[in-house]
Amino acid sequence: MSNLKTITVTVNGKHYTRDVEPRLLLSDFIRHHLGLTGTHVGCEHGVCGTCTVLFDGESVRSCLMFAVQSDGHEVTTVESLGDIDNLHPLQEAFMEAHAVQCGFCTSGFLMSLIPFLEENPDPTEEEIRDALAGNLCRCTGYQHIVDAVKLAAENMAVQS
């Protein structure tokens, strides 16, 4: 008798039906079952933010959720933002402002900041720093990331 659970989840606009162990983490499902490795796993305790994805449009830590919780829901990963020929304005701003060092934490920052910028298209530096507080980076002092968010907000306002 198997205790596998069948889930159907939409990830980056594509529907997937898979049999999974009830204890399988959403982060592991995304990485190992779907092969989407842009979602990184850092602390595995929900503290660092590298595993952040959008769950029905809201930022969540995928290392704190089970894959079975995604049944019937929509998950968006960093792979959906853009590609090398057509970057999302936030990705472009990270590149232009030199907000990426080793890059391990970048996908988590991006996925945390997408809903933030949608809700707050003209953020102050204090609001940006508040939004960044849930993501950890060991390589930077965050100023370049703050600069990138400001730049992205400006660029996204021009595109609107």
Q: How far is CA 156 from the centre of its chain?
A: 18
- Structural domains counted in the chain: 2
**Do residue 114 and residue 68 come from a single domain?**
no
**Do residue 72 and residue 94 come from a single domain?**
no
Specify if 106 maps to a domain. yes
Specify if 137 maps to a domain. yes
By residue range, what is the domain housing residue 115?
89-159
Q: How far is CA 27 from CA 40, 128, 132, 156, 159, in A?
A: 8, 26, 20, 29, 32
**Do residue 104 and residue 152 come from a single domain?**
yes
pLDDT at 53: 98
C-alpha count within 13 angstroms, C-beta hemisphere, residue 2: 6
**Which CATH number do you get for residue 61?**
3.10.20.30
Q: Dihedral sign for Cα 118, 107, 66, 3, please.
A: positive
User: Taking CA 159 as the corner, what is the angle to CA 55 and CA 61, rounded to the nearest 5 degrees?
Assistant: 15
Identify whether the C-beta of residue 155 lies closer than 8 Å to the C-beta of residue 100. no
**Do residue 11 and residue 68 come from a single domain?**
yes
For 154, the enclosing helix (H) or strand (E) is helix 143-159
- Please state, rounded to an integer, the average pLDDT across all residues of the chain: 95
**Do residue 66 and residue 99 come from a single domain?**
no
pTM above 0.75, yes or no: yes
- Of 45, 60, 79, at which residue does a domain stop? 79
pLDDT at 158: 85
pLDDT at 92: 96
**Do residue 146 and residue 123 come from a single domain?**
yes
**Do residue 44 and residue 98 come from a single domain?**
no
Specify if 84 maps to a domain. no
Tell me the per-residue pLDDT of 27-63, one tens digit each, with 9 for 90 and over. 999 999 999 999 999 999 999 999 999 999 999 999 9
**Do residue 10 and residue 46 come from a single domain?**
yes
